[in-house]
Amino acid sequence: MNEKSPYGRGFIAACIVVAAVLLCGALLLISSTRSTTNPAATPNPVQSTSAAQTDPGSVAQPVAPSRPAAPANQLGSGCVLPAGDQAIPLKPPAVDGWDVSRRVVVPRSTTAGPAKTDSDGFRRCFAHSPTGAVFAAYNVVAALADQRQSIPTVRKLMLPGPDTQALIHELSTEKPSTNSTASQLAGYRVLDANQHRATIMLAIPVESAYMSLTLTLVWHDNDWRLQPPPPGEPVGTPFAQHQDLSDFVRWTGV
C-alpha cells in the first residue's frame, strides 16, 4: 500500500517529493497527476571529460577546465561575492558550517554562499562558479521544504518565465500542508557546468538506499536560479534509485 503524500497536488507539481517511500525495492515518487516510479540508472554526465575521484567512496566526476575567477557577484541588495575557482568540485567543498534551514541541514561558506538570508529565511547570493551552484542546489531543497512559503519562495528561487508564472497560479489555488516531512542530503554529483548553467544530481537517503533528483540551475540576475519544470512535472526529474553513494561526492552535515 502506498504511503499517502502530505503534499497538496499543486505543490507536488512544483517541489521535490522528499517524503518518498521505499516499497518493493522501488522509490515511489508522487507528482501532481500520477505516481511516478523511475528505477533507471544514474544518467550519464553531459561532459565526457573526467578525472579520478579523490574522495573515498566516490567515482570519477566530470571536470571543467580551470579558468580564472570571474568578476564579483554584485546584487542590488548590496551582496558582493567573488566567483572564485571555476573548476567542478570533485571532493567535498570547504564549509564554514552547516545550518538548519526550514528543517534541512545546508552548507554555509563565506566564499561560496549564501551571503544573504532574507527575513523569511530564504538564503541567496551564491558564487558564480560550479561550487557556488552546488551550495545553491543544497539550499534549493531547503527552500522548497516549507509549503507555507511556497509562492514567495518560487518567486525568488525559480527562473522567471511562463512555466514559473503558471506554477505560481496553481499554487495560489492550493491550501498548503503543514505536516510535510523534510529530508537531508547525503551527496552530490555535478553532471554538467559552465558559467551560465549547472546540472546537479543530489542524493537523499531513503531507508537502506538512496534516491536521486536532478536540478538545473541557471545564472540569472547575479545569482543561481532554479529552472522550473514543465507544467505537470515535479522538480527533480529524472529520479533514480541507488544502492550506495559510489556515484556521488559524499557531502552532508548530519
Question: Whole-angstrom distance between the N-terminal and C-terminal Cα of the chain?
Answer: 30
Q: pLDDT tens-digit profile of 112-134?
A: 999 999 999 999 999 999 999 99
Look up residue 202 and give its amino acid.
L
Confidence of residue 46 (pLDDT cuts 50, 70, 90): very low
Q: What is the pLDDT of residue 174?
A: 72
Q: What is the pLDDT of residue 10?
A: 39
Give the start-to-end residue ranges of the domains of the chain.
9-250
194 is written with which cell numbers? 559552465
Q: Is 17 helix (H, G, I), strand (E, B) or coil?
A: coil
Q: What is the pLDDT of residue 172?
A: 84
Confidence of residue 16 (pLDDT cuts 50, 70, 90): very low
Q: pLDDT tens-digit profile of 185-202?
A: 999 999 999 989 999 999
Q: Which of 41-55, 84-98, 122-136, 165-179 has the lowest mean pLDDT?
A: 41-55
Residue 156, classified by CB atoms within 10 Å of its CB into exposed (0-12), middle (13-18) or buried (19+), is: middle
103 in Cβ contact with 182 (< 8 Å) = yes
Full-model pTM = 0.73
Q: What is the pLDDT of residue 88?
A: 96
Residue 68, classified by CB atoms within 10 Å of its CB into exposed (0-12), middle (13-18) or buried (19+), is: exposed
Higher pLDDT pick, 50 / 154: 154
Look up residue 118 and give its amino acid.
D
CA 89 centroid distance within chain? 16
Sign of the C-alpha dihedral computed for residues 159, 75, 124 and 11 taken in this order = negative
Residue 70, classified by CB atoms within 10 Å of its CB into exposed (0-12), middle (13-18) or buried (19+), is: middle
Alpha helices in the chain (DSSP H): 9-14, 130-143, 150-157, 162-171
Question: Does the pLDDT at position 154 exceed 50?
Answer: yes
Confidence of residue 166 (pLDDT cuts 50, 70, 90): confident
Higher pLDDT pick, 16 / 23: 16
Q: Is 148 helix (H, G, I), strand (E, B) or coil?
A: helix
* Separation CA 130–CA 235 (nearest Å): 20
Question: Does the pLDDT at position 30 exceed 90?
Answer: no
In the chain, % helix, strand, coil (3-state, to 5) comes to 15, 30, 55
Q: What is the pLDDT of residue 180?
A: 57
Tell me what the pLDDT averaged over the chain comes to. 75
